[in-house]
Amino acid sequence: MIARSRAPKPESAARANPGTCAAAPPPPAPEEQIYRLLLSCPNRPGIVARVAGHIYQAGFNIGDSRQFDELDTNRFFMRIEFNPVRADADLEAWRASFVGLAGEFGMDWTLCAAWRRPKVMILVSKFDHCLADLLYRWRIDELPIDIVGIIANYPRETYPHLDFGKIPFHYLPVTRETKMEQEAQIWALVKEAQAELVVLARYMQILSDGLAAKLAGRCINIHHSFLPGFKGAKPYHQAHARGVKVIGATAHYVTSDLDEGPIIEQDVERISHHHTPDDLIRKGRDIERRVLARAVRYHIESRVLINGRKTIVFTE
């Protein structure tokens, strides 16, 4: 996919809606009420102890905790999963009291219920292998999301073998002359559906700076190349011409510089001089599918923190 990107400041998404995430359905049984806290702040001693103590004192138990100190920027990153273990554990009271602690350390943070199903809008062009894979993983509940719409710049007949079920399908053709109007329609659909994440599943259009800015930190693109090499169109042909020995795919957040957004996930596969550009495209489809699916899962599981032009990804 072709997109543009400029890395937002690491705190931009969190400050837009501090300490919150998507609304969750009614909570399950206490042992299944897992909450995910994701935070970043200037590094200093005592952060882990203060955060863990705050969770424990409120009647919760930490089931998983990951942290990372980035020495170059002197910034601290942390992801914690916790659940209630006392009858008096009150999440809203905990959230309200955590605001003070977060302010003391200058934290950017979000708190999400693990059982929520984020609303996702998918954009696609002619090539549908990534879309088909996302639909499959969604149907078997490997990706616990609610797909609130599919937007395509090709008509529905382009995908005769795909079953969209009751997912709304929006055909929005685009030309150079109608690009701004078409993007206004996309933005209206995203807002109307309250989509929390937009996935560009080989959507072969460059997003305008304006739309990229509106979707900063919540729009994932799959680029059919191992960035930062071979940007733009026909990367597999570029790779073949250079005689590379591995090809890959890259999932990244979309901002405003072409294929320069913070990278979430990548993968590669070895090739040889025997392989043609068509061979590379065929192999590339497999890589693209799995890389995009992993990136979407990392995002919806609150495993990704944007750090300037990079990301911190707390994988499993």
- Catalytic positions: 259
Question: In which residue are the tokens 């942290």 written?
Answer: 67
How many whole angstroms separate alpha carbon 234 and alpha carbon 257? 18
10: left (phi over 0), alpha (psi -120 to 50) or beta: alpha
Distance CA 15, CA 253 (A): 18
In whole angstroms, give the CA distance from residue 41 to residue 74: 9
Helix (H) or strand (E) holding 169: strand 169-171
CA-based nearest residue to 287, from 199, 195, 205, 224: 224
Residue 175 CA to residue 179 CA, distance in Å, equals 6
**What phi and psi values does residue 11 have, to the nearest 5 degrees?**
-95, 0
Q: Which amino acid is at 99?
A: V
Distance CA 82, CA 35 (A): 5
Cα within 13 Å of Cα(176), Cβ side = 0
Task: List 66's β-bridge partners, or say none.
Answer: 79
